[in-house]
């Protein structure tokens, strides 16, 4: 089985709805010989229970227990994937310190599987787990499908990051920048300093800086350059 490296497919995954994303992922993992998948993207490394994005077809009982923290606390798969980009094949040895989790996983029909992670330069971490009810993962199967699983994890990571960015852009659109703030940000984007903008608009430098500070605060930007970039990427300029 060869790995998939299509830019168009990456774009395709990034643009479809979450339901379609889940459906297409299920079709893909079935091609790989698995029944279930669990994908989780954590925007920033550290907190594993908040601000994360999940798509899965795991049994509802497992998902409920996971979301309540019963199966996510001290989860060896999650711990491994946060610290390493190497894949990990499930086994009783992996769960030796959390045998209750191993039993709960198997009782839900998630008997055999492996997990793969992706780490990006901005600190976002994604974890993709594939599972099935029967047939252990052999070394030959692992060697044959490892590139495909890594490819799929990267595709889902890109798709979910795009969703996070879109959500952020929509949030910024809700923020109401005044006409004056937008006008000053546009001139700032042109490379004009506060005194120049003041002369163009008939305002004092102090007033220009006031509007820049106000726009920065509304956008959550650390400086005026960041405010311009955020506004531009959100289609406000």
Higher-confidence residue: 78 or 65? 78
Nearest residue to 65 via CA among 110, 117, 125, 105 = 105
Residue 131 burial (C-beta neighbours within 10 Å; 0-12, 13-18, 19+): buried
pLDDT of residue 90: 96
Please report, for the chain, the start and end positions of each structural domain, with discontinuous segments joined by +: 7-162, 175-233
Higher-confidence residue: 167 or 198? 198
CATH node for 175-233: 1.10.10.10
Residues 6+ apart with CB under 8 A from 232: 189
Higher-confidence residue: 157 or 237? 157
Show the tokens assigned to 17.
């709805």
CATH architecture of 7-162: 2-Layer Sandwich (3.30)
Average pLDDT over residues 31-37: 96
- Helices 194-201/179-189 angle, 10° precision: 130
Task: Write down the pTM of the prediction.
Answer: 0.64
pLDDT value at 233 more than 80: no
Q: Give strand pairing partners of 115.
A: 88, 129
């Amino acid at each position: 089985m060869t790995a998939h490296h299509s830019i168009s497919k990456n774009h395709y995954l990034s643009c479809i709805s979450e339901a379609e994303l889940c459906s297409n992922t299920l079709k893909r993992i079935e091609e790989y010989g698995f029944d279930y998948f669990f994908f989780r993207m954590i925007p920033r490394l550290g907190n594993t229970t908040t601000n994360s994005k999940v798509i899965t077809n795991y049994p509802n009982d497992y998902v409920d227990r996971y979301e309540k923290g019963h199966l996510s606390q001290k989860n060896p798969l999650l711990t491994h994937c946060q610290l390493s980009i190497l894949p990990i094949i499930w086994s009783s040895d992996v769960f030796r310190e959390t045998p209750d989790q191993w039993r709960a996983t198997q009782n839900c029909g998630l008997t055999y599987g492996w997990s793969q992670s992706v780490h990006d330069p901005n600190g976002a971490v994604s974890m993709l787990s594939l599972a099935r009810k029967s047939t252990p993962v052999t070394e030959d199967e692992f060697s044959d499908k490892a590139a495909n699983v890594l490819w799929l994890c990267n595709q889902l990571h890109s798709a979910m990051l795009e969703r996070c960015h879109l959500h952020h852009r929509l949030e910024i659109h809700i923020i109401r920048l005044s006409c004056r703030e937008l006008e000053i940000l546009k001139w700032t984007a042109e490379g004009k300093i506060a005194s120049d903008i003041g002369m163009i608009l008939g305002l004092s430098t102090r007033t220009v800086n006031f509007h820049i500070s106000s726009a920065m605060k509304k956008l959550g930007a650390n400086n005026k350059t960041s405010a311009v970039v955020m506004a531009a990427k959100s289609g406000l300029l």
